[in-house]
Structure 1
Amino acid sequence: MDDKDRQIIRALQRDGRMTNQELAEAVNLSPSPCLRRVRNLEANGVIRGYSAEVDAKAYGIAITVFVRIRLERHNETDVQHFERRMQMIEEVLECHVLTGVMDYQLRVLVPDLEAYEDFIRNRIHPIGGIASIDTSFVYGTVKRTAVFPLPS
């Protein structure tokens, strides 16, 4: 991957619906080499797909919650079980493995507090093997971007 590929990626992260002609102009390439580069990035799994950025509140899911979870045991069976369950829960948009005191951080979207209570009681607690759950509700967002920084 070179600087031109990174320019293409950043342009597509800003606007994934731009035409190849617009993209080529934005990164100072002619359309054919630009399209070849995009197809190579897709074929190599660097660009994994395209999606729409949707306003969660307008969609009807107004509450974003960060949930940190610590497991009771860290054996392979319990870890795999927990991670498989995370893959199946729609409210969990992201699940990250952490260093430090907590083992996982989830980004969860729910429509209201009652839905969050239901999420904890009926989706998280039944997993078992959880030592602690720490919750932070988002009441504002200062910055959100999908555009990667340039590597040093």
Structure 2
Amino acid sequence: MSNEYELDAVDREILFHLQRDGRLTNVELARRVGLTPPPCLRRVRRLEEAGVITGYRARVDPEATGRGLEVLVSIEVSVSDLRTLEGLEAAISACEEVVEFRRVFGAPDYHLRVLVADYAAYETFQTTKIICIPGVARVISQPTMKKIKVTD
């Protein structure tokens, strides 16, 4: 997002509604924010062009796709050279089981969100795709017990 783009109250209201239902029609969105459809559509397009709205997507139930086990994974690395870190990041990014991947300040160095079918699938994922990556020193796995609040 450009630092020069200033959100006003109507922009924030548009974002509020679209974050809850990205499939709202422009007519319904306009009604909810108190605009007529043409200026509402112009505002949405400006928000998209400015990079405030980065896309629209479907939220999928992992259980329905056979990936009901969510594991939060922390990784500590044993190296500091850029080439090894880039290789590690590329290898982990290529794993279809990894749905979120962040490098963070401090220790651990990385956090992952992994979706797999069950514990056996996670063990296979960890032993064949993660611990064999050069630079991985330690893997800490925390299966999710219960999701309390999730916002995307």
The answer to whether the Cα contact below 8 Å between 2:85 and 2:135 also exists between their aligned partners in 1 is no
1:9 is matched with which residue?
A: 15
Which of 144, 147, 150 is equivalent to 1:144?
150
Q: Contact 2:69–2:143 at 8 Å: present in 1 too?
A: yes
C-alpha separation in 2, matches of 1:108 and 1:10:
28
The Cα of 1:58 is off from its aligned counterpart by 2.1
Bigger RCO (CA 8 Å, 6+ sep): 1
Q: Quick check: 2:68–2:116 contact (8 Å CA) kept in 1?
A: yes
Match of 2:80 among 56, 66, 74: 74
Match of residue 41 from structure 1 = 47
Q: Does structure 1 retain, via aligned residues, the 8 Å contact 2:68–2:118?
A: yes
Matched residues in 2 for 1:10 and 1:76: separation?
39
1:107 aligns with 2:95: no
> Which one-letter code corresponds to 2:128 in the other structure?
N
The aligned counterpart of 1:29 is 35
- The AA in structure 2 aligned to 1:116 is Y
C-alpha distance after superposition, 1:39-94 (max 9, x if no partner): 11222222121111111112211100000001101221122111112221111111
TM-score by length of 1: 0.90
| Inter-partner Cα distance in structure 1 for 2:82 and 2:50 | 31
Residues 108-147 of structure 1 aligned to structure 2 (within 5 Å): 108-146=114-152
Contact 2:77–2:135 (Cα < 8 Å) also in 1: yes
Cα distance in 1 for partners of 2:50, 2:35 equals 20
Unaligned runs of 5+ in 1: 147-152
Report 1:60-99 matches (<5 A).
60-99=66-105
**Structure 2: which 5+ runs fail to align?**
1-5
* Paired residue secondary structure (2:18): helix
Q: Secondary structure at the match of 1:127?
A: coil
Query: Are residues 1:52 and 2:58 paired?
Result: yes
Percent of paired sites with the same residue: 43
Q: Distance in 1 between matches of 2:65 and 2:32?
A: 32
Distance in structure 1 (CA, Å) of the matches to 2:95 and 2:46: 33
With the length of structure 2 as denominator, give the TM-score of the two structures. Answer: 0.90
